[in-house]
Amino acid sequence: NAGVTQTPKFRILKIGQSMTLQCTQDMNHNYMYWYRQDPGMGLKLIYYSVGAGITDKGEVPNGYNVSRSTTEDFPLRLELAAPSQTSVYFCASSVPTQSYGYTFGSGTRLTVV
Amino acid sequence: DQQVKQNSPSLSVQEGRISILNCDYTNSMFDYFLWYKKYPAEGPTFLISISSIKDKNEDGRFTVFLNKSAKHLSLHIVPSQPGDSAVYFCAATDYGGSQGNLIFGKGTKLSVKP
């Protein structure tokens, strides 16, 4: 049981480049999330999805886009990379019951130079 | 404005002793609280949670206490072990209003010395 899988693990981008961070889960969870963690800071919600075809903005959505065409996949797109997007990105999934916490992927460390 | 605050960036404890990690929140609508543990180069993993209808939840060496009037919760680890060394995040949610989105604190780095 793989859980939540994120690729790539590391990436260096040049300013203005674009890329897609991949996230897939095999637990049939309806809810999926993208968080970013800056050094010394907590996790901040970028986007979330409550099911295929439904996405919504979180606390820090600017500069990012998402799509949810299937239950399993929730890719995060950076169109014009900026140094402020240097961070560690975590994807997570959950079921909408109180007894479950989120299941997180292992993260993607992104550096924009 | 931070809704979930962990005011101690780090904590050092001797093996076998108690570790107490604290968390404060400002939003009175929060009704569910969770603790996550994170090792370097890994994603956070769920540790323990508590509903606002309870004031204590216990799971082995880990106990979470909730004081709603003070808007404060704490995580107790007894006895502490070197393998508990990690960053601990407090998180809160208002299930009724935000579809379960978690708000995280900045984390406390726990070091357990052998």
Number of C-beta neighbours around residue A85 at 10 A: 19
Mark yes or no for CB contact B106/A31 under 8 Å.
no
User: Nearest CA to CA, how far is A103 from chain B (Å)?
Assistant: 7
**DSSP assigned state of A73:** B
pLDDT at A11: 96
Rounded Cα–Cα distance for residues B91 and B32 (Å)? 9
The pLDDT value given to residue A99: 58
User: pLDDT by residue (tens digit) across A11-30?
Assistant: 999 999 999 999 999 999 99
Task: Encode pLDDT of B22-45 as tens digits.
Answer: 999 999 989 889 999 999 989 999
Distance of CA B61 to the CA centre of its chain: 14
Whether the pLDDT of residue B58 is over 60: the answer is yes
Query: Which residue would you say has higher pLDDT here, B98 or B17?
Result: B17
Bridge partners of B49, per DSSP, are B34
Strands B10-14 and B108-113, how do they pair? Answer: parallel
User: According to the model, what pLDDT value does residue B98 have?
Assistant: 52
The reply to whether residue A104 touches residue B105, judged by beta carbons under 8 angstroms, is: no
**How sure is the predictor about A1, in pLDDT bands with cuts at 50, 70 and 90?**
low
- Per-residue pLDDT tens digits for A72-95: 999 999 989 999 999 999 999 988
Residue B90 predicted with pLDDT over 60: yes
Chain B interface with A: residues with Cβ < 8 Å: 4, 6, 9, 32, 34, 36, 41-47, 49, 51, 89, 95, 99-102, 104-107
Element (H, E) at A64: strand A64-66
* HSE-up (13 A, CA, CB side) for residue A96: 15
- Residue A101: which pLDDT band, with cuts at 50, 70 and 90? confident
Q: Give the Cα-Cα-Cα angle A107, A44, A18 (nearest 5 degrees).
A: 60
The string of DSSP codes covering chain B is --SEE---SEEEEETTS-EEEEEEE--TT--EEEEEEE-TTS--EEEEEEETT-SEEEETTEEEEEETTTTEEEEEESS--GGG-EEEEEEEE-TTTSTT--EE---EEEEEE-
Q: Using CA atoms, how far apart are residues A53 and A37, in angstroms rounded to an integer?
A: 26
